[in-house]
Each structure stands twice: as structure tokens, then as C-alpha cells.
Amino acid sequence: MSVDNQFAEQAAQAASSLAQGFGDAFKQLQAMQIQPEAWTQLQSEYLRQAGALWNGALGESHDPAQPPAAAPLKDRRFAAPSWNENRLAHFTAQLYLLNARTLQRMAEQVQGDDKTRARVRFAVQQFVDAASPSNFLALNPEAQRLALDTQGESIARGVQLLMADVQRGHVSQTDESAFEVGRNVATTEGHVVFENAFFQLLEYKPLTAKVHARPLLMVPPCINKYYILDLQPENSLIRHAVAQGHRTFVVSWRNPDADCVHWTWDDYIGQAAIKAIEVVREIAGTETINTLGFCVGGTILATALAVLAARGQQPAESITLLTTLIDFSSNGVLDLFVDEPSVRMREMTLGEQAVNGPGLLHGQELATTFSFLRPNDLVWNYVVGNYLKGEAPPAFDLLYWNGDATNLPGPMYCWYLRHTYLQNELRIPGRLTVCGEPIDLGKITAPLFIYGSREDHIVPWDAAYRSTQVFKGKKRFVLGASGHIAGVINPPEKKKRSHWIGKGTALPADERQWLENATEHPGSWWTDWDQWLAGHAGALKAAPRAPGNRAHPAIEPAPGRYVKQRA
């Protein structure tokens, strides 16, 4: 058999294999409501491009080991030389990319309401990413060559890594043995000065001879561990705040276990956020404090301050909300997972009225969900590297934190889903009762610094901006570059990225109008926040010599026990 005939036979087999994999997806999309004209055009263009691809591949008459005449594949999954040097692999990748593009275009043509169409697009993207030939040893020339070069050792290592991940219950994204909380992450010096069943309160040792009179309380998200704010000294927002002369306190949430399944949203507000505010005020001896909430921590903080406002109390001198949802009108890809049936199902299985009693939303389920929002980067990249190539992932502190999952009590989680994501009631004055109080965020008088990240896929920046229309106090909105984490954790010393500041104090209802009039500034938004926060922090005074006070003495060194509890 000639070289070209052999290639033609192999290419036909590859095409048939891909057709079987994509066939059901094509049929399911075709069965949906797609306009006949659009379907005819898609079909015609697909056949034309597939024919051109086939003819181009067969037109090559040189040895299979030589690079084809076609341009190198630009998709980074096929960037290794092996994909371009091997004619069959090159053809397989090209055909996959054609099928993927066609499926995605079909998904765009599906008729229906916005949410249905978005779900179809999301499902198609998940299938397309999973079906990549790079994910399969039989179709990945790079992994095959590595297996030959190592005489099978890469395959053996891949099996070992796979078995270890099966025991862990998740795909490893980093070398988890390289990190230990309190040893080389979460190392800013401090002490636990209060604890109850829900949280530990950390106070950090001053780095300056004098501190501002008003302390700063940070409320991180309860769906992650607090040390995203304190990964390493050079990128720690906590250490940065301390170095700016702020007496800094941080909530470290307990990782709920079976004893915590009955905890509610009211518990998180009353027994945690409000309690933390009270203790910080007692320790610092101040009427008001500066407050900061990150992501869900910002939602919790705002709710707690609304409860206190309903009781006639205004303990916040200022509020900083980082990538926080308050108005849940539209929240990007996360909206796809929330509707009445899905929320009701959670309530029946995890909530207060669950048939078998309340339960836990396990942290790994949350972590997996967030990973599949970016599957190529956070799932398939590691499947290929870990299992097909046998390459253990390198040590990376951010991904270690990302894999250090936290559980959530079912009743709290179900309340949050229904009243925020599904029914969007938090923004409506008097609609919700929390801790026995009808809450109105508009009654919070403290000035706000509201931050959003421009490429955030968890809290889209326009969703973060909508908070400016809910609160009535003085507000400042700053937009940072990058995503949910990298946009927030952006120390000035790195001189990376940029941020946008609006013109004057105008905060129009339309975020696009704000952006049109905003000015881009190089570097981190932290410096702008530093100036803003200093204006609310009060005069400087001698730094305290010891953490806590007589009523709340130091219990143990930071980072404390709670953050070390594994899900």
C-alpha cells in the first residue's frame, strides 16, 4: 500500500471516529428550533469546508513524517510540533476544530429564551472541550512520542497520578505536598483573638510604629478559605493593609462538618458577621470601624450592616466591596445553574425541609463546578499533563488554595440560592427579613468603595457595578483589569495590569456610560484604595503592644485551627 493510500485510509478512520463522537451532538442540535435557512447555510458551509480539508490533506504526497503544507495549528492544545509534523494528527485536529466551530455556530442559532440558549451554548462548549483529540492517548501524538521516548515510563507515571487523584477525589492542579497553611501560605504574623462555632477572628501584628485609630475588618467569602488574601508576603492584601498602618482583623470561617448541617443564613449574619463587628469595636475601643467584604463575604457584610441599620446602628465608617454581588439581575455563566427546579431540588435534598434532614454542600462539588467554568484551563489541561504525559503539576500557591475546598451548610446555601440568585430580593427594600429585621441596604449610611474586575467570569464587572445603584451613601467605583482573583490580588510592586477610574463622582445607571467616561491608569488599584481608606481611618496613634484586649486575649497564633480544617 502506498504512503498516500495508507494515509487516506487512516484519515478516513479518524474522520469516522470523530463523526461518531460528534454525530449525536449534531443530531440533538438539529432537532432543536433552528431556522431552516440557517440550518441549510450551516450544512452547506460545513460540507464545503470539510471537502476542502479532505482534498487538501490527500493532496499532500510527501512522507507522513514531514510537515504538511497547511499552516501550523494556532490552538494551543495543538501547539506542540508533533501535531504539525504528523499528517494524520494534523488532519484529525483540523477536522475536530471544524466540527467544534460548526457545533458552536449551530448552538448560536437555537431558538428560545435567553437562558435556554445560554444553557445550550454552555453544554455544547463543555462537549466540544471534552471531545478534543488532545484529551485521548490514541489521538495525541505528543503523548505518544513521550511514551516512546521514555519507554513507557510516562504512561506508568500517568497511571500512578490517576490513582492518586482517584483517592483524593479530584484532578490535581498543583503539587499539594509543597504547601502547608501557616508554613508557606497564610504566614502574616498575628493571633486568634476570638472564636465561636462559626469563625475565628484574626488580628495581625502591626508593621508600623503607629496605626490608624479605626481598625479594618475583612470578611472573606465563606465558599473559600480566607488566605487568598494572604498567599505570600509579596501579594498579600492583608499584609499590605497592615503595612499601610491599619489595625487589621480578618474573619476565618469554620469549615462546616456534619455537626453544622442546620446552620442558616441568619446564623452567618448574626453569629458571625455581626459578632465580628462587635468584637473588633470592643477590642479597638471605637464607635465605628472600616469594613471590607470580598465576593460572597461582601454580600454577607452588606446584609449584616443592613440588619444593624434596621436596629438603628451604623458601625461602619466605610465599606469596601470587592467583586461582590448585591443586585443579582444577571450574573454571567453562573445564572445557567439556577432556576426554580434546581433550587427546589437543593431545598429537598439539603435544606431545612429536606426529607432526610438538612445536609452539606460538599466543597469538592463547588470546586468542580467552578473548574468547569474554564474546563480547558482547569480540567483538561491537567488530564492531559497528569495522566497522558505523566507530568506531575508544578507547585503553585494559588491553585493549592483553589483546591482547598470548603463545605456549606444546606439551609444557608439554599436560602442564598433562592433569595439572591433566583429571586434577586436583597436589593429590594423590606423584601427580606434577616435576624428578625426587615432589611434595606439603602439605610446604610457609610461611604462605599466598590471594585469590579473587567474579565471576571464569577462576578461580571457590570454586576459589581450595579451595587452603585442600590446603596445611597457616597460611592466610588473602580474597575480593575483581569479576573476574579488576579484582578483583586494585584500588588502595586508588581507593576502589572491597569485600572479605570470614573470622571468625577457620577455613577450613571448604565455601566457602559461610566466606562466611556472613565480613564485608564497603569498598575494596581490598591494605591487608589489606600488613599480612599486612609481618609476614613482616623488619626494615627501608637500601635498596640499586644493583640486583643483583656476581654479578648490571644488564643493561638494565626492562621489558627479553623483554616486548617479540610473538607
Q: What was the pLDDT predicted at 287?
A: 97
What is the phi/psi pair of residue 192, to 5°? -80, 125
Nearest to 366 by CA among 467, 215, 256: 256
When pLDDT is cut at 50, 70 and 90, the band that residue 150 belongs to is: very high
pLDDT band at 33 (very low <50, low <70, confident <90, very high): confident
Instruction: Give the Cα-Cα-Cα angle 146, 149, 153 (nearest 5 degrees).
Output: 75
Percent of the chain, pLDDT > 90? 77
**Grid coordinates of 125:** 462548549
HEC readout, 543-560: CCCCCCCCCCCCCEECCC
What integer pLDDT is reported at residue 30 of this predicted model? 59
Dihedral sign from CA coordinates of 405, 337, 294, 398: positive
Tens-digit pLDDT profile for residues 309-341 = 999 999 999 999 999 999 999 888 888 889 999
pLDDT higher at 197 or 114: 197
Q: So what's the pLDDT on residue 54?
A: 84
Q: What angle do CA 280, 285, 289 make, to 5 degrees?
A: 50
Query: What CA–CA distance (Å, rounded) separates 78 from 87?
Result: 13
Q: Comparing C-alpha atoms, which of 372, 302, 284 is closest to residue 333?
A: 372
Grade residue 434 by pLDDT with cuts at 50, 70 and 90. Answer: very high
- Which residue in 222, 260, 295, 435 is the catalytic one? 295
Sequence-ordered list of residues with C-beta below 8 angstroms from that of 31, at least 6 positions apart, any chain:
none
Look over the chain and give the mean of its residue pLDDT values, rounded to a whole number.
92
The pLDDT of residue 368 is above 60: yes
DSSP-based helix, strand, coil % in the chain, nearest 5 = 50, 15, 40
Worst-scoring range by mean pLDDT, 153-167, 268-282, 354-368, 480-494? Answer: 354-368
Question: What letter does residue 292 receive in the DSSP assignment?
Answer: E
Q: What is the pLDDT of residue 554?
A: 98
Tell me the three cell numbers of residue 9.
485510509
d(CA 274, CA 307): 9
pLDDT at 245 over 90: yes
For residues 392-400, average pLDDT? 94
State the average pLDDT over residues 149-171.
94
Higher pLDDT, 84 or 205: 205
User: Is 295 among the residues known to form the active site?
Assistant: yes
Q: Give bridge partners of residue 218 from the DSSP assignment.
A: 250, 292
Percentage with pLDDT > 70 across the chain: 92
Cα–Cα distance measured from residue 119 to residue 141, given in angstroms and rounded to the nearest whole number: 33
Task: Give the three cell numbers for residue 119.
Answer: 444553557
Could you count the other beta carbons within 10 Å of the beta carbon of residue 496?
A: 14
Contact in structure between 133 and 53 (CB atoms under 8 Å): no
Residue type, 103: L
Place 64 in a pLDDT band, splitting at 50, 70 and 90. very low
Quick: pLDDT tens for 175-228.
999 999 999 999 999 999 999 999 999 999 999 999 999 999 999 999 999 999
Numbered ranges of CATH 3.40.50.1820 in the chain: 190-337+423-564
β-sheet bridge partners, residue 422: none
Res 518 pLDDT > 90: yes
14-23, 93-102, 242-251 — most confident range: 242-251
Nearest-10 Cα torsion for 381, 488, 335, 123: -10
Q: Is the pLDDT of residue 12 over 70?
A: no
Of 59-63, 465-469, 524-528, the one with minimum mean pLDDT is 59-63
Which among 239, 235, 238, 261 is positioned nearest to 251, based on CA atoms?
238
Model confidence band, residue 22 (pLDDT cutoffs 50, 70, 90): low
Q: From CA 471, how far away is CA 448, in angstroms rounded?
A: 8
> Does position 70 have pLDDT exceeding 60, yes or no?
no
Write out the three cell numbers for 135: 484529551
- pLDDT level of residue 239 (50, 70, 90 thresholds): very high
Measured distance CA(517)–CA(520) in Å, rounded: 10
Give residues with Cβ within 8 angstroms of 342, minimum separation 6. Answer: none
> What residue spans of 427-489 are helical by DSSP H?
461-465
Average pLDDT over residues 495-511: 94
Q: Averaged over 58-71, what is the pLDDT?
A: 52
Cell of 423: 429571586
Would you give the DSSP letter of residue 153? H
Q: Which three cell numbers stand for residue 254?
A: 469554620
**pLDDT value, residue 61:** 42
Cell readout for 162 is: 490517576
- Predicted confidence band of residue 72 (pLDDT cuts 50, 70, 90): confident
Domain 190-337+423-564: give its CATH architecture: 3-Layer(aba) Sandwich (3.40)
Examine the pLDDT at 418 and tell me if it is beyond 80. yes
Cell 467570569 belongs to: 457
> What single-letter DSSP state applies at residue 72?
P
Per-residue pLDDT tens over the stretch 115-137? 888 888 999 999 999 999 999 99
- 458 pLDDT higher than 90: yes
- Position 36 scores a pLDDT of 83
The average pLDDT across 538-561 equals 97
Name which of 212, 207, 175 is nearest 189 in CA terms. 207
The reply to whether omega before 559 is within 30° of 0 (cis) is: yes
Q: How far apart are CA 549 and CA 467, in angstroms?
A: 36
| DSSP per-residue letters across 82-146 | HHHHSHHHHHHHHHHHHHHHHHHHHHHHB-S-HHHHHHHHHHHHHHHHHT-GGGSGGG-HHHHHH
The greatest distance separating any two alpha carbons of the chain, rounded to the nearest whole angstrom, comes to 89
Q: Write out the DSSP string of 331-377.
A: -GGGGGG-SHHHHHHHHHHTSTT-TT---EE-HHHHHHHHHTTSHII
Q: Look up residue 342 and give its amino acid.
A: S
Instruction: Supply 359's cell numbers.
Output: 445536609
